[in-house]
Amino acid sequence: MKFTDFGLNDALLDALYYMNFEDATEIQDKAIPLILEGKDVIGCAQTGTGKTAAFVLPILNHISESAVGGVQTLILCPTRELAIQIDHQVQGLAYFAQATCHAVYGGGDGVAWDQEAAALKGGADIIIATPGRLLSHMEQGNVDFSEVKHLILDEADRMLDIGFYDDIIRIIKTLPSERQSLMFSATMAPKIRNLAKEILNNPEEISVAISKPAEGVTQQIYLAHEEQKIGLTQHLLKDKEGFHSIIIFCSTKRKVEQLTRKLAQRNYSVQGMSSDYEQEAREKALSAFKAGRTRIMVATDVMSRGIDIKGIDLVINYDVPNDAEDYVHRIGRTARAKTEGMAITYVCGEDMYKFTKIERLIERDFDKLSPPEHLGEGPEWNPGGKGQGRRDRKGGSSHSGQSGSSNGKRQGGFKGGKKRRKGPSEPGGASSAS
């Protein structure tokens, strides 16, 4: 469906024309008409499907046709990075709709606090906020939400994972009861449905491309002991000179620092990013990565959702994510907007069972590759046993129980190692537009 078919006002259509947007994505096609009708909506769509524009466009359309002053729309999201991204998207469209917006998130100085307070008291049409920062302003009496007509919860599942449930409920209780409420989530877990029952009124439900990687992602899986991962990363990067934008996801801040230091010693253009970094440092690091001044970003899951970075060539999962859905969000950073990309995941003995849940979720049975010979043997594929394939104290490999479908003997390989296990070779998963 084309944007001209939705009945949006001319100002927004002009904005979309200048941005070279013509065809709506599936989530936009389904959500925009419902939101324009004033219905509550719960939408389930993964990273890169264009869900931000799915709620921003109809909300801006309402605001541009309303003469009401004060804050009309509140958008809650889990992280400052996502708040900044949404703010940028809204700013690009709001200019044409003659609407104003302001992002409210932690980490700023006193000047930023004063600017946020002025916006929250009615100085902006749209507020994009993280719950914690917004509550701090509420406690200081800096908020006037008496004119709010629209509430949007973006990445609702991540907000609940972080522990924002009570904060969200406290904030919502201050809003007018007569409002339109929208909730967007990458997963539809029971906790999301329970929250929807509390805050939505007879919502329309939309599900698009749930937990399926984009078709353009080439996915490779390496069985590697923990102590082999740095060497494996260095080995794989040697063969990727043409990959100009790379994200590596680690499970801990310590691993981020360790890997960043090791890659920097090899003269790679690399930057670490985690919640330990000050807000200004995080924004500078992200800006440099987006602009291509930094080639490799090593990060914790703070970047796995909601960060709109185009042109990612390669995503490396240094560790298997705890939640199977997060695998999709991580590799969703590449192959956006129907482009191509690569995702490589390292699986150690302790993570094998977690990875089988990913395979079940995305309905793929992957080939398992070995590390290159100079790094030694990797673990056997044995997802049935906890901690199988870990190294013993002398540095050898210890394998108990039956292995998956490999005898563990090396038989050569191709720049990364031999295949451990046969499986479908075609890229899997449904496509997702950005």
385-432 residue pLDDT tens: 544 444 433 333 333 333 333 333 333 333 344 444 433 333 333 333
* Residue 63 in this model has a pLDDT that exceeds 80: yes
pLDDT of residue 362: 85
Residue 181 confidence class, pLDDT cut points 50, 70, 90: very high
Is the pLDDT score of 240 beyond 70? yes
pLDDT interval class at 304 (50, 70, 90): low
Q: What pLDDT is recorded for position 421?
A: 40
Q: In the block, which residue shows the tokens 């999301």?
A: 192
Distance of alpha carbon 377 from its chain centroid, rounded?
33
What are the E-state strand segments in 145-260?
A: 150-153, 180-185, 204-208, 217-223, 246-249
List the structure tokens of 20. Answer: 């070279």
pLDDT at 200 over 50: yes
Percent of the chain with pLDDT over 90: 53
What is the distance between the alpha carbons of residues 60 and 89, in angstroms, rounded to a whole number? Answer: 12
Beginning with the edge strand found earlier in the chain, give each strand of the sheet holding 41-45 in spatial order: 101-104, 126-129, 73-76, 150-153, 180-185, 41-45, 204-208
pLDDT tops 90 at residue 61: yes
Give the three-state DSSP class for 137: helix
Q: Average of pLDDT values for 277-297?
A: 86
Structure tokens at 376: 């030694």
Overall average pLDDT of the 104-109 stretch: 83
Average pLDDT, the chain: 83
Helix (H, G, I), strand (E, B) or coil at 433: coil
Give the integer Cα–Cα distance in Å for 429 and 348. Answer: 24
Instruction: Report the candidate in 402, 406, 400, 403 with the shortest Cα–Cα distance to residue 421.
Output: 406
Structure tokens at 361: 């979720």
pLDDT at 107: 76
Reply yes or no on whether the pLDDT at 76 is more than 80: yes
What digits encode the pLDDT tens for the residues 47-58? 667 888 999 999
Whether the model clears a pTM of 0.85, i.e. scores above it, the answer is: no
Provide the pLDDT for residue 208: 81
Rounded to a whole number of angstroms, the CA Rg of the chain reads 23
Percent of the chain exceeding pLDDT 70 equals 83
Q: Is the pLDDT of residue 355 over 70?
A: yes
Give the residue-averaged pLDDT of 258-266. Answer: 96
H-assigned helices in 214-350: 229-238, 253-265, 279-290, 324-331
DSSP secondary structure, 344-380, as one string: EEEE-GGGHHHHHHHHHHHT----EEPPPGGG-----
Residue 3's pLDDT band (boundaries 50, 70, 90)? very high
For the chain, domains (ranges, CATH) are 3-208 (3.40.50.300), 217-375 (3.40.50.300)
